[in-house]
């Protein structure tokens, strides 16, 4: 089954990329695993979504208040988008992902790819099977935990919870992932215990 493109790359670097969503207010959730295509056939870059934002398409522009007019009419939440369908033309939803690996010739690697995904190339949200396959190894945990300028602990916890839900034996994966996290943070007890609390099943 052909997968649906959800976005395209609008900014790219060695360690992360940003994508513009094709549908306003629709983006993969925080911690989701996404895949960006590359110019090399059979190769794609994996990233974890760490930021989602919506704002004006104009550089330096900002959204303006639409919920109340000078004539006294008031709209709330979804009503605003119904009354102003033009918002889809002036606003854009974007999401940023930190690179955690890549796939080449059907082999998954959990380290940085030789090249980042090109601007304007397609981005897809990984399905359950792809998430399970990627998360079989935990080598990317270190890269996420020690990445700069991202909410690394929250991001890794969200990804672990998602990977656990995708499995039939979610508890076994949580135990395995918890042990991996403990080995990486053995010298930082407070950070370790806070993160372990975040990956407990709901």
Q: How far apart are CA 48 and CA 95, in angstroms?
A: 10
Domain ranges in the chain? 7-198
Structure confidence at residue 70 (pLDDT): 65
Q: The pTM is what?
A: 0.92
Q: Provide the pairing of β-strand 7-12 with 122-125.
A: antiparallel
Q: How far apart are CA 199 and CA 202, in angstroms?
A: 9
Note whether 144 and 100 are within 8 A (CB): yes
Q: Tens digits of per-residue pLDDT, 52-85?
A: 999 998 888 888 888 877 667 788 899 888 888 8
Contacts of 93 (CB under 8 A, 6+ apart): 20, 21, 23, 24, 25, 26, 27, 52, 53, 54
Structure confidence at residue 1 (pLDDT): 46
């Amino acid at each position: 089954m052909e997968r649906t493109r959800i976005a395209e790359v609008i900014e790219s670097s060695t360690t992360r990329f940003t994508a513009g969503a094709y549908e306003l207010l629709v983006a993969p959730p925080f911690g989701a695993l996404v895949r960006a295509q590359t110019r090399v056939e059979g190769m794609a870059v994996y990233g974890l979504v760490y930021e989602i934002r919506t704002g004006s398409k104009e550089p330096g522009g900002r959204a303006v208040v639409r919920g109340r007019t000078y004539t006294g009419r008031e709209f709330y939440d979804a009503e605003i988008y119904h009354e102003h369908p033009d918002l889809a033309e002036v606003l854009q939803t974007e999401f940023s992902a930190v690179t955690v690996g890549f796939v080449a010739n059907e082999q998954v690697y959990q380290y940085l790819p030789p090249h980042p995904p090109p601007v304007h190339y397609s981005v897809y949200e990984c399905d359950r099977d792809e998430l399970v396959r990627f998360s079989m190894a935990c080598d990317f945990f270190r890269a996420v935990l020690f990445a700069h300028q991202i909410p690394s602990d929250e991001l890794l916890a969200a990804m672990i919870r998602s990977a656990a839900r995708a499995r039939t034996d979610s508890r076994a994966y949580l135990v395995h992932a918890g042990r991996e996290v403990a080995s990486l943070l053995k010298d930082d007890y407070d950070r370790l215990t806070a993160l372990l609390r975040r990956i407990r099943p709901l």
